[in-house]
Structure 1
Amino acid sequence: MDMIKNIINVIQKNHNFLLTTHLSPDGDALGSIIALGLALEKLNKKVDYYIDPSIPEKFNFLPKIQNLSCNVLDKQYEIGIILDCGDINHLYDRTILKKCNTIINIDHHINNQNYGNMNYINSKAGATGEIIYEIIEFLGVELDHNISKALYTAIVTDTGNFKYSNVTSKTHYIVSELLRIPIDAWK
């Protein structure tokens, strides 16, 4: 819990963020990045996304999906947040780390290499989306349609539609909170 509080503190004190994830992003990576990015934008933070453009078409319904890659060549960031990527060698582009003053690594994979300046790894979470839900809650950002849809996608895809062994009562609690907002979960 202390690490989440430290991450919240860093987020609150900084304004310029880069969000990235692993190669060939899946639903958890995409949903987590979009949800966190939207929450940061609600806090008037500047957010750039830098991800592998090979996004499966099945995720085209997600908000911001067409705007998840930017030109970062001439930019520098206060904070780089890497989501759902346990191994630094699986990042979309490792050179991006040099463009960030501080790296925050947030993940749910037990074999995460703890490569960030700050690492929050919760292997009991069914998806990185569960962790992002908690962070958004601690930030005091109200859930909306787009954030809820992104988080639901993250969780439902990484839990195999809630049938994998990583599903807990907490998973179901978070999803029940997300479903309070009409998000067309069937999509």
Structure 2
Amino acid sequence: MTRKTRIVEVRRALLSARRVLLLSHKSPDGDAMGSSLALLSGLLALGKTCDVVNVDGVPANLLWLPLAERVALLPEDGDYDTVVFLDCGNPDRPGLDLEPLRGARWVNIDHHPGNGDFGHANLVDPGACATAELVYEVLQALQVPVGFTAATNIYTAILTDTGCFRFSNANARAFEIASRMVHRGVDPSWVAQMVYDQQPVNRLRLLSRVLETLELSPRDKAACVTVTREMFRATHTGVEDVEGFVNYPRSVYGVEVGFLLREEADGRYRVAFRSKGRIDVAEIASEFGGGGHRNAAGATIEGTAAEIRQQIFDRVEAAWDDLLLRRREAG
């Protein structure tokens, strides 16, 4: 099925909807929030009754986004006939009890590989720079004017998901849509300041502690930092404050893969992977029951931090050896 056909299916589902629930993944990033709020603005413009929910709420650095005040932690007791999953690789990502929503029509809009098309209508394209790219095309199909509210959310989503246009998903379409949003009144300098230059002091104190845990693999191809629950308690911070920390180990000279271990309440570790492009971290994450993109992936793993760190170090070093071997054989 072509992307155009999928957009038509999503358009049909949204136009026929009476009451819509918008969901995004736990620990939301700029794409999850921006996509949700951009679509919310469009559906409200169509006169739809619409709620937007994220179990972790809006991250502190995104509270300024237009319509952010509409985000609730739990769905209202209501009869939703349509549920839209945004930026969710699978239906469990929002972290909600889905049983009350089984009777609704599910719409799935996402750009993660391996999504599986779990909705009744699916707009999934791993080639999209961000889920917000797909939301923008849905708004166009709905013939909803993209005003300043939607434009700000779409631009912010693309800015953050491309790492300020530094990552490999910063393709021509990313710049094209970003340019269109600027023409609709978005100020790139102001958005960047609001997202990146309004950090709470406690977040920087947490970062200081996290960077002290930096460790490298034997041949310096992987680097890791660790966040413990004790660090959160000592600095009065939370999970949302860790957003972006994984890019520090990734930025180390000579490192191919950076990853962050975050201790969870049940003793497991949530692992965020970031690659500079030559090693596929989605493949590594899948070996631990996770998934994601080639350059950005995640998994939840049981074990001690030391055990998990060593397992990933070994896997990255092995992937590096495989890469070198293929290069020698090719040439």
Instruction: Please indicate, yes or no, whether the TM-score normalized by the shorter chain is above 0.5.
Output: yes
- Aligned counterpart in structure 1 of residue 46 of structure 2, from 43, 46, 70: 43
CA deviation profile, 1:48-107 (whole Å, cap 9, x unmatched): 111123432110110121220165352111110000010223223142662651001110
1:20–1:33 Cα contact (<8 Å) kept:
yes
- Greater Rg by CA: 2
Q: CA RMSD in A?
A: 1.6
- What TM-score do the two structures reach when normalised by structure 1? 0.93
1:48–1:70 Cα contact (<8 Å) kept:
no
- The 1:170/1:95 distance shift into structure 2, 3 A limit, reads same
In the alignment of these two chains, the number of paired residues is: 187
Structure 1: runs of 5 or more not aligned:
none
- The 1:126/1:103 distance shift into structure 2, 3 A limit, reads same
Distance 1:173 1:67 in 2: 29
Counting aligned pairs with the same residue, the percent is 30
Other-structure match for 2:58? 55
Distance 1:73 1:37 in 2: 16
| Amino acid across the alignment from 1:98 | L
- What TM-score do the two structures reach when normalised by structure 2? 0.54
Other-structure match for 2:176? 173
Other-structure match for 1:77? 80
Q: Check if 1:131 corresponds to 2:134.
A: yes
Distance 1:99 1:143 in 2: 31
| Amino acid across the alignment from 2:155 | Y
1:79–1:101 Cα contact (<8 Å) kept:
yes
Moved over 6 A (4+): none
Distance 2:163 2:123 in 1: 23
| Amino acid across the alignment from 1:124 | G
Q: Check if 1:21 corresponds to 2:11.
A: no
- The 1:161/1:100 distance shift into structure 2, 3 A limit, reads farther
- The 1:94/1:85 distance shift into structure 2, 3 A limit, reads farther
Q: Secondary structure at the match of 1:90?
A: coil
Distance 2:39 2:103 in 1: 17
2:13–2:107 Cα contact (<8 Å) kept:
no
2:83–2:101 Cα contact (<8 Å) kept:
no
- The 1:54/1:46 distance shift into structure 2, 3 A limit, reads closer
Other-structure match for 1:147? 150
Displacement, 1:128?
0.2
